[in-house]
A and B are shown apart, each in its own frame.
Chain A
Amino acid sequence: MSETKQVPGLTAIEKGESLPQLVKNITQEKINLYAQASGDFNPIHVDEDFARKSPLGGTVAHGMLILSYLSQMMTIAFGQSWLSTGKLNVRFKEPARPGDVITVSGNIKNIEQEGNEIRVNCNVLCQNQKGEVVITGESSLRLLHR
């Protein structure tokens, strides 16, 4: 697999290679901004009084906001190929809350040959500052084999 296409954010496409890590600070302001952009004003995200009385005990970020960070990491690593051939399969394990620092990371799990292309399969993870898993799963994409 030494002759694979160069991609923007990785030094090599090899099993075990780490994807470029991202760190994001979650604030209520960012959650509100995402609510406005997405149109999802569920009170568990934006109404602090409502959320405080709920079983979650406070507002939480939209799961799709955190997932967008994961997609950003894949875009940095693989560029436009991610936009046209990407796949994501994730589980939301814990909510992200205002004040959390989310680290988005991943690595190449394996590489499969598919005709004149390769499929790159990755493990992906979003964790908070306590090490709790917020999102876990797998991503993959196809790349032309040079």
Chain B
Amino acid sequence: MTNEHSKVQCDQLDTGYEFPPANYNLDAEIISKYLEAVEESSSLYWRSDNPRALTGLVPQMAITTYAMTMLLQRLSLPPGSIHVTQEIEFLKVIEVGTKITCQAKVSQNWKRGKFHLLTIDLSILDQNKELAQIDKVGFILPS
């Protein structure tokens, strides 16, 4: 998750702007690291006969997390920006090893006085181009 990209400034973003798609692989190492970081011990993810081995299911919030990281690697938010809202819809179960593509599009970039709201829609697809998750992320930016 260390891709280097030139970041787009918020004032360059019109409604409808599409970020270059980002790809990442949900391999076992990444998922194990994620599960340990969030203290997730569910038997949905860890095998009961070997607690250090994965069952193969990916926690949906791991997908959201990496999509958000990819977005923030491409978007330059001014200091003082606040992540205020998040909508997420899970559409299918994803397995470890899946290659994910994340598409991001500006759905709202709205300024009025001191109030500046930026909303970005995320579509997350698996390697079969099937939608796995859709998200809407809202930021309040300093004007």
Q: A40-B68, A40-B72, A67-B86 are known contacts. Are A86 and B60 too (CB-CB below 8 A)?
A: yes
Interface 0/1 of B24-44, CB less than 8 Å to A: 000000100110111110101
CB neighbours (8 Å) of B69 from chain A are: 38-40
The reply to whether B83 and A84 contact each other, CB–CB distance below 8 Å, is: no
The reply to whether A37 and B68 contact each other, CB–CB distance below 8 Å, is: no
CB neighbours (8 Å) of A34 from chain B are: 37-38
Query: Interface residues of B, CB < 8 Å — how many?
Result: 37
CB distance from B120 to the nearest CB of A (A): 14
A-B contacts, 30 listed (Cβ < 8 Å): A30-B39, A34-B37, A36-B33, A37-B30, A37-B37, A37-B38, A38-B1, A38-B37, A38-B69, A39-B69, A40-B69, A54-B79, A63-B83, A63-B86, A68-B38, A71-B60, A71-B61, A76-B42, A80-B44, A83-B57, A83-B59, A84-B92, A84-B93, A86-B89, A87-B90, A88-B89, A89-B88, A90-B85, A92-B84, A92-B85
Residues of chain A whose beta carbon lies under 8 Å from any beta carbon of chain B: 24, 30, 33-34, 36-40, 42, 54-55, 63-65, 67-69, 71-72, 75-76, 79-80, 82-92
